[in-house]
Amino acid sequence: MIKKSTLERIIGDDLAELWNALTQEEKRIIAENFRYERYKKNQIIYAESESPENLYCLLEGKVKLYKSGIGDRVQILRLYRPVQYFGYRAYFAREPYVSSSAAFEPSVLGIIPMKIVEEIIRKNNNLALFFIHELSRNLGGADTKIINLTQKHIRGRLAESLLLLADNYGYEADGATLKIYMSREDLANLSNMTTSNAIRTLTSFVSEKLILVDGRRIRIVNEPQLRKISKFG
């Protein structure tokens, strides 16, 4: 159990929309059932086919949602940043998880049992609307991703992935180096291409002076041109 005052400090402005939708009694219930868990790099948070039980909130670190396809080929479906919720769609659908989630780097998650969340939703229309909004926004994003992955060429898909990482996680102090270090395989899985194609396309972007690459560190040199490739590539 965590004190409500401590939970409020954790939540801050980032989760104000959800927190403000709760009554004082509901805040007390959430605080009594809220717990932390720390995850190591690449540690599984939940796996495909497991029964959903919890609402997860990423407090620190980075998390990926992914699915294994034909021949165990992995597709990264979504990337989470602090402070975002995940893991609840399958519970509302009354079905097992259809994808898996794992920590990209050492991460801290806040966890609340979905049964508690559901009990509050049944009495609180504002909280219900919050989750309707979140689900609707995620559905719209998924539709856009499907179109991009199926209709864009390789260059456009990789450019979009690099920009997604920039928009999601931002830059280091230099204002250009992505604040996430991904393997070539993960970049390929995010962009729906083979690892060899991801490597070749990255090399092409370097030669065109769009990016600089140092191991897993990627520095965006020409963002406007990268956005043009993402849009028309």
Average pLDDT, the chain: 86
Pairing outcome for strands 100-103 and 211-214:
unpaired
Kindly report, residue by residue over 167-202, the tens digit of the pLDDT.
889 999 999 999 999 889 999 999 888 999 999 999
Confidence tier at 14 by pLDDT (50, 70, 90): very low
pLDDT average, residue stretch 96-106: 94
Terminal C-alpha separation, the chain = 51
| Of 84 and 101, the one with more pLDDT | 101
- In DSSP notation, the chain reads ---HHHHHHHHTTTTHHHHHTS-HHHHHHHHHH-EEEEE-TT-EEE-TTSPP-EEEEEEES-EEEEEE-GGG-EEEEEEE-SSEEES-HHHHHTS--SSEEEESSSEEEEEEEHHHHHHHHTT-HHHHHHHHHHHHHHHHHHHHHHHHHHHS-HHHHHHHHHHHHHHHH-B-TTSSBBSS---HHHHHHHHTS-HHHHHHHHHHHHHTTSEEEETTEEEES-HHHHHHHHHH-
Q: From CA 57, how far away is CA 86, in angstroms rounded? A: 7
Q: Is the pLDDT of residue 227 over 60?
A: yes
What is the pLDDT, as a whole number, of residue 10?
Answer: 52
Confidence tier at 12 by pLDDT (50, 70, 90): very low
Confidence tier at 124 by pLDDT (50, 70, 90): very high
Structure tokens at 49: 């086919």
Kindly report, residue by residue over 45-54, the tens digit of the pLDDT.
999 999 999 9
pLDDT average, residue stretch 86-95: 94
Confidence tier at 9 by pLDDT (50, 70, 90): low
- Distance, CA of 88 to chain centre: 13
What is the pLDDT, as a whole number, of residue 159?
Answer: 92
Confidence tier at 44 by pLDDT (50, 70, 90): very high
User: Lowest mean pLDDT: which of 132-141, 144-153, 204-213?
Assistant: 144-153
The predicted model scores a pTM of 0.82
Confidence tier at 13 by pLDDT (50, 70, 90): very low
Confidence tier at 150 by pLDDT (50, 70, 90): low
pLDDT average, residue stretch 24-50: 92
